[in-house]
Chain A
Amino acid sequence: MSEETLKVFIDGVVNYFRHTSDKDVKVGSPYLVENTHPTVFDYTGIIGVSGPYKGTVYFTAPKILLKHLLLSLGEHETSNENILDIVGEVANTISGNARSEFGQEFMISVPVMIEGPPTSIQMPQELRSYVIPIYWKAYSAAVVICLESSSS
């Protein structure tokens, strides 16, 4: 896994937040987590990746951040549905960015949105994930990347 690959996924999220009214989005220092203890907030948008790298990338955020995100985009209806939609939109941006960066060699799935505890995200238990915190306003969300090279 190279830092360039990681960057492609982060850029997707950062770009998304740059388009909100509060452009001040910061990336925290990335760290590793064991997949036995995944980092998950209230809502998560997951995309599958296949090709030279395989695995899962997800964007996860607390409800309050997503509510504010909706408001900052001019959406005053902060229902559960809308929150799931916005998570899906961020995940879509990640997958869209990945598609344009990685091109034909990769397959990027349509995002799946879930609400709830970490148990609902299935990842290879023996692997580690990269967690990249995203700070926006007073909140923090994260992009979590668990990819392994197909050749090994």
Chain B
Amino acid sequence: MLHTLLGKYRNIVISIALFLLLDASVLLLNFYISFEIADDASGVNLSGRQRMLSQRMVKSLFDIEYSMENPIELERALKELNLTVNLFDTTLSAFDQGATVTGADGEPVKIQQVTSEKARVAVDNAKVIWKPYKVLLEDVQSDVDLFELGERMSAAISYASMNNLTLLKLMNDLTIELEKVASSKATRLRIIQTVGITLALVNFFIIMFHFLRQLKESDQKVESARKETIEILETVNEGLFLLDNNYVISSQYSSVLEEMFARKKIGGMTLEELLGEIVTNKDLETSKRFIALLFREDIKSNLISDLNPLRKIEVNIADSQGRFINKFFSFTFERVYEDNAIKDVLVTVNDITERVILERELALTKEQSERQIEVLTSILHANPELLQIYVKDVFNSLSEVNAILREPSKSDVALRRKLNDIHVFIHRIKGEAASLSLDSFEEIAHEFEQNIHEIRDKKEIGGDDFLPLVVRLEKLVKHAESVRTLTEKLASFASAAPSSSIRSINDGSWNHLDDLVQTVSERQEKKVSLVKSGLSEIDLSEELRSLINDIAIQGIRNSVVHGIESPDERLELNKGDAGRIDIRLARSSSSVLEFSIKDDGYGIDSDRIRAAAIKSGNWTEEQLDGFDQKRLVSLIFEPGFSTAKEHTRDAGGGVGMDVIKKRVNALRGKIRVQSRRGIGTKISVSIPFVESAEKAA
């Protein structure tokens, strides 16, 4: 650490150290020289004092001379001379040899031996003068009588007057020289300070410029690296971010991430916050468990990468409309190591919606084509034109059913009426499907009917009981849609070869009725033969053909299911095991068409009609008691009336006759029912008839 720091910042560290060293040396020199200057100053001071002392000595000599008469004054003068001489002597020898003397303030002061040439000359010369002078002065101080004193005084005064000025001059020279020395030291100090400070400043500026430049350079490098990172994060098409071990998303992430998740400020969020609202709880839980594994050092990442539950995850982003926008994201995770420890996990998010949708569409297309083949197989045997008519009919009927459902109704009675109305349409769809052998339609319609019966059987019905019906309704619509698509395709290339019912009606053979008899009797485990006559001889309008066809279909189903007995029963009744149905079309007059369908079965069982009527709840026993046979039989034309023991595909609907009656009435026709117990039933329909224009022409 220290090494790398030194390595990177070595120059800076050295420069700063140099700067400090320079500062410290200047400071040290400063100290040293200023002490020396202080010493020199006291030297100057004391040498100045020597000048003064030399004069005081002369003054003391004259003082002694004047005080000769007065012993007290004399003593004082002598004492003063003594002091002056001693002080001058010690100070002079201190300048000569170096010693400690008493300073002006009475404190001891250390004096260095003078070394400069001029000072030395001054001191040496002074010493030469001082030596005899000092002896003379000491003589004056010796305890002698006044006469002797006078003698010594005159010797001393005469020496003093001879040498005093020279001594003063020498002391003055010394002072000046010492002052010069001190002054030159101060100059040197200033130079040293100036040079030191200048060097320090130069060093400082070098540091500043060098360091700042380096700083600026490295800042620029960092900035450009940051810019590059930002550019990458802004342009990359994948969602990129780092996840720390608290599952917190890094502050930097690719900008496409915000777009993908339709969120702002994702940095700092936890992964749970990011995903919580857009994936199911189940997915969130498994994802959290998986990410926890990513941060475990003991688990190898390639071992768990297969477990990644977010490799293909559906996210649901709610939009402002309250809808969910479904997308598919693919998350990949890469561990980021620092010092051999898992520091973060790099998360890459890809929007794979298009790929998934494509995959799904492919699967869907496959499924659809399979379903189409299924539908195709179920309708292939039917005539395309007839099928088209049928499908159109189904759509009309279903939209009628939907219209009935849509009418507002709350009461039980109103809802029951709706049920009956719907039943009419559904039964017709079912019946026609049977005639065309469209098993798929027949099946759904049958389920629909079953649902209707289940609802009817409830004591009280509400709107929500109709839910299964509307579900079936949609199923029928969807089925009809897929059949319509197919029939349209089929019709485009099958028109050249019409087949089945339409052809059988058009060519007058009406063979599809034989098929119907065959199908229904097989399902009922009965034997029935069909005899047709007159169907091909009269040219009918489209409307009449359709009505006659419907009556025939309904009649055949009624006869086979209700009328004709099982082969065993028939044998017991000596009737022969196979029943017979006669269909006949004829013109009874020029303007009336007669159509009849007759079977040799059991006949209409009025007891069963009675029982069924009571069960339906629409009539009381008393009412029924008042009905004659004819009125009783007419009940079969009541909506929803059925005598079948259970609802099967071939029977139990009870709307068929009702519908037929309505349609016949609409053409101002009449229906007559004849029935004899054990002999059979005959339903005759007479309709006012005008031969179609083309035929007449």
Contacts and interface: CB of A to CB of B under 8 A. Distances in A.
Contact of A47 (B322, B415, B477): B322
Interface stretch (B461-469, B485-493, B618-626): B461-469
A120 B542 CA distance: 46
A22 B322 CA distance: 30
B323 A27 contact: no
A26 B326 contact: no
B585 interface: no
B280 A107 contact: yes
B405 A31 contact: yes
B674 interface: no
A132 interface: yes
Given A28-B463, A29-B409, A6 B326 contact: no
A127 to B, nearest CB: 10
B222 interface: no
A121 B321 contact: yes
A12 to B, nearest CB: 12
B397 interface: no
Nearest to A28: B463
Interface residues of A, number: 43
Majority secondary structure, B binding face = helix
B470 interface: yes
A10 B464 contact: yes
Contact of B474 (A1, A7, A47, A50): A1
B532 interface: no
Contacts of B470: 6, 29-32, 130
A110 B321 CA distance: 10
Interface residues of B, number: 37
Contact of A28 (B281, B314, B410, B474): B410
B367 A152 contact: yes
A133 B408 contact: yes
Given A2-B471, A107-B280, A48 B408 contact: no
Contact of B364 (A6, A128, A152): A152
B418 interface: yes
Nearest to B278: A107
Given A3-B471, A32-B477, A50-B316, A26 B462 contact: yes
B402 interface: yes
Contacts of B235: none
Contacts of A10: 464, 467
A109 B477 contact: no
Given A28-B410, A29-B409, A128-B477, A104 B280 contact: yes
Contacts of A45: 322
Interface string A124-140: 00001011110100001
Contacts of A116: none
A32 B474 contact: yes
B406 interface: yes
B324 interface: yes
Contacts of B278: 107
B402 A32 contact: yes
Contacts of A111: 322
A3 B406 contact: no
Interface string B546-576: 0000000000000000000000000000000
Interface in B352-408: 364, 367, 402, 405-406, 408
B279 interface: yes
A47 to B, nearest CB: 6
A86 B209 CA distance: 71
A29 B414 CA distance: 10
14 contacts: A3-B467, A3-B471, A26-B410, A27-B462, A27-B463, A46-B322, A107-B280, A110-B318, A112-B318, A112-B321, A120-B321, A122-B321, A133-B463, A140-B408
